[in-house]
Amino acid sequence: MTVDNSLNSANLFSISYRFLRRDVLPLLADLRLAIVLLLAIAVFSMTGTVIEQGQSLEFYQSNYPEDPALFGFLSWKVLLWIGLDHVYRTWWFLGLLILFGSSLTACTFTRQFPALKAARNWKFYTQPRQFEKLALSSELETGNLETLSQILQQKSYRVFVEDNALYARKGIVGRIGPIVVHASMLLILAGAIWGSMTGIVAQHMIPSGATIQINNIVEAGAWSSRNIFNDWSLKVNRFWIDYTPEGAIDQFYSDLSILDKQGEEIDRQTIYVNKPLRYKGTVLYQTDWSIAGVRVKVNNSPIFQLPMVPLDTQGKGRLWGTWVPTKPDMSEGISLIAQDLQGTLLVYDKEGALSDSVRSGGETEVNGVTLKVLDIIGSTGLQIKVDPGIPMVYAGFGLLMISALMSYVSHSQIWALQKDGKFYIGGRTNRAQVAFEREAIEILDRLESNNSLPTKV
């Protein structure tokens, strides 16, 4: 049996559109789905704070053995298969976030916009029975729309009067707030996705005085351009640490220059933690430091610059060391150990015994030679980042802060009607029931006290 292909595909399209519209959209916009999604994201986020993230295979094998498995099922095999070692980057967690974004969008169109429209298309109440459904409604013997209108305007309501009916409202901003909240969250999600697709992260450890081309890229999005750093190079004029009088680190500083292809300086700034350098969408952050080398003189030798290397302390603090030959044939030498950039070096002689400590600029006698330490050279650890998603994310942040505050406002409405010698008044609000009740009762009190003084016209 043959089928008309074009008809079939058109049919398929309309069927799937109807399916999306009728079945998928209401499901996505269902508040219960939204709540389940919120709580599911919360629960899976929790697992990432309980189970150590990004550890080695051996770590999970020793901490999550197969027998006895944690809770009877969570062995390292199951854990790694689900991806609980990197929860926030698993396909299912990202899928949940995208589903959450879709639910937000669906909810905005099927619920929030209609609700705002309904709030804007208000009606006067023209029948007394319309007041009966309101909890805060009352029927007064006499009443005056003019007086009520004045009272309401004092309470910053917007008042509309037509014939013998009155409508007043305030706080419609509280109906707009949630819509903007949803929109700004979508903006943040979109900015985060855009940033991860187009962003680049690089890291460099650069000694004081060195010039480098940024090329040690540790992360790059699929659509990022890697030659963004080709037009310029980076010079570290100086790196230093300020210490407090007690010897604790006060702040790290890097004096940086951006050089063009000819080596001309384009920009120069001193950065520290909490103050990065920005250049054409690239941001350089102070994140780490190390000791690169030491400049020494032995007797009357020329100045040697010797590299210092980090020593394995098994996690107990940081130490750097180097070896200085004291005989021309390098058969004897001394070791220098530094633990920070405060300028003090420990000097060990050829037997490996501690001989002296020397400050930079000072000198010491060891192995029968005079060792003069001119300088200890630090190197700065920089994180270099390009994230084109930032403007979107920040715009989302700004809107989210404002709209979350807007959403606190309660939308209050008051109706009044003068009919058949009676005065009907009623109102409702969507959030601040208690405050609105107080306001409504006060309005009623003022109306009644006005009515009870008929002589005062």
Partner 1 sequence: MDLVLLQSWMDNISFATLFVTMLVYWVGAAFPRIPYLAALGTAGMAIANLCIATLLGARWLEGGYFPISNLYESLFFLTWGLTTVHLVAENMSRSRLVGTVTAPVAMSIAAFAALTLPDDMQVSEPLVPALKSNWLMMHVSVMMISYATLMVGSLLAIAFLVATRGQNIELHGSSIGTGSFRHRNGKVTPSNGAASTLDLEPAIVESPYPAAESNGSTGTALLDRVSLSVLKTTSPAAAPLSPQRLSLAETLDNISYRIIGLGFPLLTIGIIAGAVWANEAWGTYWSWDPKETWAFITWLVFAAYLHARITRGWQGRRPALLAAAGFVVVWVCYLGVNLLGKGLHSYGWFL
Looking at residues 168 to 207 of the shown chain, list those that interact with partner 1 (rule: CB under 8 A). 174-175, 178, 192, 201
Q: How far is the CB of 85 from partner 1 (least distance, A)?
A: 13
Count of residues in the chain: 457
* Sheet of 333-338, strands arranged across: 309-310, 320-325, 333-338, 344-348, 354-359
Q: What is the DSSP string of 19-32?
A: HIIIIIHHHHH-HH
Contact 161, 153 (CB under 8 A): no
Q: How far is the CB of 284 from partner 1 (least distance, A)?
A: 9
Q: Does 407 bind partner 1 (CB under 8 A)?
A: yes
457 near partner 1, judged by CB under 8 A = no
* Residue appearing with tokens 């309401």: 152
Among residues 64, 101, 62, the alpha carbon closest in space to that of 82 is found at 64
For partner 1, which is the closer residue by CB, 155 or 431? Answer: 431
CA distance 241 to 263: 27
d(CA 333, CA 227): 45
- Contact between 32 and partner 1 (CB under 8 A)? yes
Instruction: Work out how close the CB of 54 gets to partner 1 at its nearest, in angstroms, rounded to a whole number.
Output: 10
Site string for partner 1, 267-286 (x = CB under 8 A): -----xxxxx------x-x-
Q: Which residues of 257-285 are buried (b: 16+ CB within 10 A; e: fewer)?
A: bbbeeeeeeeeeeebeeeebbeeeebebb
Only one of the segments 20-28, 240-248, 325-333, 370-378 lies at the binding site for partner 1 (rule: CB under 8 A); that segment is 240-248
Q: Is 169 in contact with 349 (CB distance < 8 Å)?
A: no
x-marked contacts with partner 1 along 316-355 as a string, rule CB under 8 A: ----------------------------------------
How far is 262 from 260, CA to CA, in rounded Å?
Answer: 5
Q: Which is nearer to partner 1, 282 or 379 (CB)?
A: 282
Smallest distance from partner 1 to CB 6, Å: 44
User: Taking CB under 8 A as the rule, does residue 134 contact partner 1?
Assistant: yes
Beta bridge partners of residue 205, listed in sequence order: 381
The strand pairing partners of 415, in sequence order, are 167, 426
Burial class of residue 412, CB neighbours in 10 A (0-12, 13-18, 19+): buried
Nearer to partner 1, 367 or 407 (CB): 407
Closest CA to 277 of 170, 187, 382: 382
| Residues whose CB falls within 8 Å of the CB of residue 439, separated by 6 or more in sequence, listed in order | 155, 412
Residues in 360-399 that interact with partner 1 by CB under 8 A: 383, 385, 387, 390, 393-394, 397
The span of 154-162, 341-349, 372-380, 436-444 binding partner 1 (CB under 8 A) equals 436-444
**What residues between 57 and 76 interact with partner 1 by CB under 8 A?**
none
Q: Rank residues 367 and 412 by Cβ distance to partner 1 and give the closer one.
A: 412
136 binds partner 1 per the rule CB under 8 A: yes
Q: Does 90 bind partner 1 (CB under 8 A)?
A: no
User: Is residue 456 part of the contact set for partner 1 (CB under 8 A)?
Assistant: no
Cβ distance to partner 1 smaller for residue 249 or 369: 249
Selected from 45, 213, 301, 452, the binder of partner 1 by CB under 8 A is: 45
Q: Which backbone phi and psi does 303 adopt, to 5 degrees?
A: -75, 125
Q: Residue type for 57, please?
A: L
Q: Segment near partner 1 (CB under 8 A), from 144-152, 323-331, 360-368, 438-446? A: 438-446
In whole angstroms, the minimum distance from the beta carbon of 370 to partner 1 comes to: 37
Burial 359-379 (b: 16+ CB within 10 A, else e): ebeeebebbebebbbbebbbb
Q: In terms of CB distance, is 249 or 346 closer to partner 1?
A: 249
Span of 4-12, 67-75, 341-349, 421-429 interacting with partner 1 by CB under 8 A = 421-429
At its nearest, how many Å lie between partner 1 and the CB of residue 404? 4
Report the nearest approach of partner 1 to the CB of residue 31 (Å): 4
- H or E segment and range at residue 11: helix 5-19
Smallest separation (angstroms) from partner 1 to the CB of 11: 36
Binding-site member from 189, 358, 411, 416 for partner 1 (CB under 8 A): 411
Q: Who's near 166: CB < 8 A, 6+ residues apart?
A: 124, 145, 148, 149, 159, 160, 414, 415, 416, 417
- Whole-angstrom CA distances from 182 to 155, 177, 190 are 30, 9, 12
Shortest distance, position 317 Cβ to partner 1, whole Å: 16
Query: For partner 1, which residue of 367, 429, 439, 447 counts as binding (CB under 8 A)?
Result: 429
**Shortest distance (Å) from residue 425 CB to partner 1:** 9
Of the candidate residues 167, 239, 252, 320, the single one contacting partner 1 (CB under 8 A):
252
